[in-house]
Structure formats: structure tokens, C-alpha cells
Chain A
């Protein structure tokens, strides 16, 4: 099932580094993040610089840039006419989807790690809990994995790069803004149950909960299922194409 996963992963990764799109997205990411951090939060101007706000902000930036990264994975195959070649290679649908997913997730990881300078700067100026920072990085990378999987699945259902981007962006925004609690009537008798159910599906809520150090298995399950389910959908879309 996972035969040839590594060659597909390396090929996708290499093609990202060779594309102008990736470097453009990289520059945009750094620009947006730095602007948001230094202008909006007044980072380093405060006496006790908070790294939590940086992590809280980053996920919002990723909601915008992940669709731009995943657009390449399927829409470019269609644009350059390589879909037939790719789908007739000796690679299973699972390995193909997983290879592409891991490549884009690795890039997100690289973007995230590139902000480590901020942590070092903060550590030089004030006391920071290194374990907490590492945990926050882990949470951010996991959340990015969910966005990558959702965005990739969304883009696999369309044939045009622009519609792939718009659809992926819409799905990422939907996932990140999904807050069912706003639909709950205030006079509901089972308000608490509804609130709990709503919160358990709220991406930012789950992300913030982990970021604040409140570890819960439900949040872990949430992010794992937000990766596994969209990837399964993506494999299904590849198989559906063959049928």
C-alpha cells in the first residue's frame, strides 16, 4: 500500500523548491507574520513579550497560505497534463496522496521552523519556557497538517487552479471558523451539551486549548481525524477518477 511513497514525496518536495510559487508564499508568510507580530501586537515593545500571541496568529496566516501551496498538488497535474502519467505509475492511490500530503506538510513545517528566530530573540530578552515553546510548535505543526489535508482534499475535486484555490480557501476558512455554538438557541434546555458538541468541532477552540497547555485527548483525536478523514476522501477521489 505504501510502496513508492518515498519517491513521490521526494519528487513533490523537490518540485516545490523549484517552483517560484513556494518562494513567493514563503516571502508572503514572513511578511504577513512579521507585520502582524510587530505592528499589531507590539511584540518586543511590551515589557513581557508573549510568544502565545505569535502562535495564535500563525494559524490564521496558514489558513490563507496553505490553499496557495496545495493548489499545485492536483490542479498543476491537470494543467500540465501529467495526471494520466501520474495515475498510471506503479503507485497506489494511498501512497500517492500520502506522498503529496507529506511534502506540503513538510514545507509548512519548514515555514514554521523559520520563525524560530523570534523565540531566540525573546529568550535573549526575557524568560521563556522552552518546553512550552516546543509544545506550541508541535501543536501548530499538527494544526497545519489538518489544514493541508482539508485543502488538498478540496482541491482534488476540481480541475481549474483558480477554483482549486478558492475551494481550498473556502474549506480552510470554514474549518477554522466553524463554531456551531452560535447556532445554539439561548433558551435551550440542553445548552451545555450543545456547547460541548459545538466546541469540540471548533478548530480554533481546539487549537487554543492545546496552545494554552490544556492537553486533552479529544483535541488530539480532533486533529488526527481532521488529517485522516480528508486524506481518505482524497484517496477516494483518486479511485473515483479511475472508475
Chain B
């Protein structure tokens, strides 16, 4: 379970995240929606422990990310927006490195690698060097690295950005399935993604959480009854 209690983060005079509260439980895919610059990436970085909040706290399975980082991140994974990988490593070396951080046994590692390789279609690039991979493969390898220890909580920043429709479909399908048993939070500004995978929507604008509802709940906020209209009416800056 991920609990966010009143967190704020400022950069100089700019309030990137302002008193945000929410709680995510197992078995749901939540979309963190917001226009560019709304504070989505900053919020994810706060949840992952990349940034420390100025105020408030983030609890992952009752462990504070700032003060009890290693315990908190034990059953947690985060894939940043750029999906960057260590270029000199091969795919299998990268995934093995990620597994070693979670003290996975050899048998567990091999089982998880085999199933992730099958689910994410990595078999043909498993021995290739990360820097030679296409963007789509890099995304999938980053996801495989994050999932090798089968974390309870998975955070993804713009997971399908720049991917072709087939790759988007594959990732969304995988996330939907993974979210049935785990907690998944995806940051996006693509409405189609929200409808395709999420059961809950958190709408962020100018650092504030302005809406916490279901996709259908969001749709019903406007007469047009679609997410995009609701998104525009709630975040459009006159």
C-alpha cells in the first residue's frame, strides 16, 4: 500500500507539488493525469525517493521513503520517463544487476526472467547491448528490470511515450494484467491510455490534486461525457 500524506515540493518560488494526499491499494491501476508541467514527474520522483519532500511524507507498506528508504523500496519499482538504461550493459546483465539489488535467488531470477522475457517479448534481444536497442525495446527492458523482483508497487512515468501502436498495446495489456494483483501508478497525459488501463484517475494541475475519481466519474463531469473534455475543462488555463 502506498500512502501519500500532504506532500509538497518547491523549486525556488515554484510550487511543483502542493499538499497532495492520496492512498493506493493493491489490485488497481491508477492513472496520474495532468497537463505538461502539472507536477506529475516531480510527484513520481517524490514517491520513488529521488526527491525528498519539503513537507509531508510518503509511506510504502508503512515505511517512510525519506527516513527508511531501503525498507520502503524493497517491494517497489519505478521506471523513469526516459527509460534510461546503463548503455554498456547487455539486457541480461542489466536485469541481473536489478535482481541483485533485491537479493533474488538464482532460481527466482531465472524463473522471473523467463516469464518477463516471454511477456514483454525480449527473447531476441536478451544478449544485446542496451545502447544498441530501439526505443521500444529500451522501454520494455527498463520495465523488465523494474519487475524482476515482482514488486507490490510499480510506478511508471509516461510508459508509452514515443512507442508505436503495437508496442503501446503490448505495454498497456501487460500493465492491466499486472495491476490485477499489484498496485500500479502510471503518469500520462494521453487520455486513450487512461481508458485503456486505469480504474482510477488522479488529476493534477499546477501541483495540486484537483480530482480523484474513476474514468467514468471523470467523463460524467462534462456534458460531452468524455475524458478529454473533462480534462480540458478542468486544466485549461485561460
Contacts and interface: CB of A to CB of B under 8 A. Distances in A.
Given A81-B84, A84-B84, A242 B101 contact: no
A243 B53 CA distance: 7
Nearest to A84: B80
Contact of B70 (A3, A82, A242, A243): A3
Contact of A91 (B76, B80, B101): B101
B48 A15 contact: no
Given A7-B97, A7-B100, A88-B80, A80 B86 contact: yes
A240 to B, nearest CB: 10
A82 B84 contact: yes
A90 B70 contact: yes
A89 to B, nearest CB: 6
A3 B197 CA distance: 35
B102 interface: yes
A80 B52 contact: no
Interface in A135-152: none
A19 B52 contact: no
A92 B71 CA distance: 11
A87 B50 contact: yes
Interface residues of A, number: 23
Contacts of A11: 86, 89, 97
B65 to A, nearest CB: 10
Nearest to A12: B86
Contacts of A217: none
Contacts of B78: 88
A81 B79 CA distance: 12
Interface of A: 3-4, 6-7, 10-11, 14-15, 18-19, 80-82, 84-85, 87-92, 242-243
Top 8 nearest A-B pairs (CB, nearest first) are A90-B73, A81-B84, A7-B100, A88-B48, A84-B80, A18-B88, A88-B50, A82-B84
13 contacts: A7-B97, A7-B100, A10-B100, A14-B89, A18-B89, A82-B86, A84-B82, A87-B50, A88-B73, A90-B101, A92-B70, A242-B49, A242-B51
